[in-house]
Amino acid sequence: MLAQEIIRHKRDGLPLSPEEINHFVSGLAGDSWSDSQAAAMAMACFLRGMSQDEKVALTLAMMRSGEVLDWRSENLPGPVLDKHSTGGVGDKVSLPLAPILAACGAFVPMISGRGLGHTGGTLDKFDSIPGYRTAPSLGELRTALRSAGCAIIGQTAQLAPADRRLYAIRDVTGTVESIPLITASILSKKLAAGLQGLVMDVKTGNGAFAAEMTMASELAQSLVEVAVGAGLPTRAWITDMNQVLGWSCGNALEMHEALALLKGEAAEPRLLEVTRTLCAELLGIGGLVASLEDGLQQVDRALASGAALERFARMVSALGGPVDFIERAAHYLPAAPVVRPLIAKRGGWVSQMATRDIGLLLIEMGAGRRQSTDRIDYRTGLSAVRGVGERVEPGEPIAMIHAADEASAELAEARLCRLIGLSEEAVPARPVLLARLGNGV
């Protein structure tokens, strides 16, 4: 087969055969397809879409492009579970979720990604921890999982290598929002991780890839159907991304916020609600609880007892991070040299956020990448971000800006004034949990 002929078939709207899809995926993994050919194929899939059969074939081919883990020989005393988010600004749910689940008896080999488009990446947050290995060997992954019950890592060289290459190409070619490619990218990694249960957090709103509820529903349905068709029990929640999730956005700042939640010091209500709900769903899928209410109670006990925090500490240490990271996080996490408030010039209620534009601003500040080879400044971002529906008095901060220098801080201040709106009338807080897909407890 010729790569250009396969591209032409999809460009012209013809369905691809499993053989053609396998040729494409083998070319990604073995480099027989050039970056330009892979980019053309991604754009053809984006513009023409893919049928359910094509999505299943692509997902399974990408899963089989590397090693597929099988945890049965490990005799783990609990189910192997995971969660995935389609991405947003300030979305740090994975950081507390994995250790909470581990504290409740599950095992979580979480294969995460880096920032994609305007959204932040879980791995970038962990890269802010000195020594933490986001690309361990499979042996190290197994050791960490046994020690801590959870391991948040990136794709190893052995797991779904075709997706790793396509992921980077999508980030810089305007094809991030393709539902077939999102479905195959997410599920190929999850299937390769040997999971027994999965919950999807599908974001919708002005800070999500699926800006409209219609697209979010289509994506959630695609993910659930393809996953279940491949034998992986899966449920999905559609959640709101019309504002920053939590109080912070930016890698080290989000790590601080996640630690505060695990320590029981403070938790932004929307972030806590999403985290608790997704954990409870997974505990139900894994057969560890009989109902969602039971699951929520288990989550609360894991947080209140400190068991979840302990699991997080074990994970960091097992993957090369400091053994005293929890106690000395402020020492280890980098801090920006310039911190200044965004002051409200008048009083009012926070009425809206241009969330995607906030994500793009973070990239300009260094917290994300313009190109896949760019280095990230883990110090930069925003903290103490006021949520929609909150009252702000004149002279109070709407957010704190953490910047690498004065020029970057001034840019952020000028831009944020236009991206966070204030209303003279009271604005109701928006619900964060919007819809649930999938059957079960």
Check: CB of residue 168 under 8 Å from CB of residue 109.
Answer: no
Taken as a whole, the chain contains a residue count of 441
Q: Is 185 a catalytic residue?
A: yes
Q: Which of 10, 92, 133, 190 is catalytic?
A: 190
Angle at 275 between CA 380 and CA 396, to 5 degrees: 45
Q: Which of 92, 189, 203, 270 is catalytic?
A: 189
Q: Is 82 a catalytic residue?
A: yes
DSSP state letter for 176: T
Distances (CA, A) of 244 to 21, 186, 351, 354: 37, 23, 13, 9
Q: Is 391 a catalytic residue?
A: no
- Nearest residue to 256 (alpha-carbon basis) of 325, 341, 338: 325
Q: Which of 59, 175, 185, 275 is catalytic?
A: 185
Beta bridge partners of 107: 80
DSSP H helical ranges for 174-306: 179-192, 213-229, 251-263, 269-285, 292-304
Structure tokens at 1: 């087969």
Q: Is 170 a catalytic residue?
A: yes
Q: Which of 59, 65, 85, 128 is catalytic?
A: 85
Q: Which of 55, 82, 178, 355 is catalytic?
A: 82
Q: How many helices (H) and strands (E) does the chain have?
A: 17, 12
In our burial notation (b when 16+ CB lie closer than 10 A, e otherwise), range 236-250 reads bbbbbbbbbbbbbbb
Q: Is 340 a catalytic residue?
A: no
Q: Is 122 a catalytic residue?
A: yes
Q: Is 190 a catalytic residue?
A: yes
Do strands 348-353 and 391-392 pair parallel, antiparallel, or not at all (unpaired)? Answer: antiparallel
Q: Which of 10, 23, 64, 84 is catalytic?
A: 84
Q: Which of 122, 134, 156, 217 is catalytic?
A: 122
Q: Which of 55, 64, 118, 170 is catalytic?
A: 170
Give the Cα separation of 106 and 149 in Å (integer): 7
What sign results for the dihedral spanned by CA atoms 217, 218, 221, 224? negative
Structure tokens at 322: 């400091």
Residues that are catalytic: 82-85, 122, 170, 185, 189-190
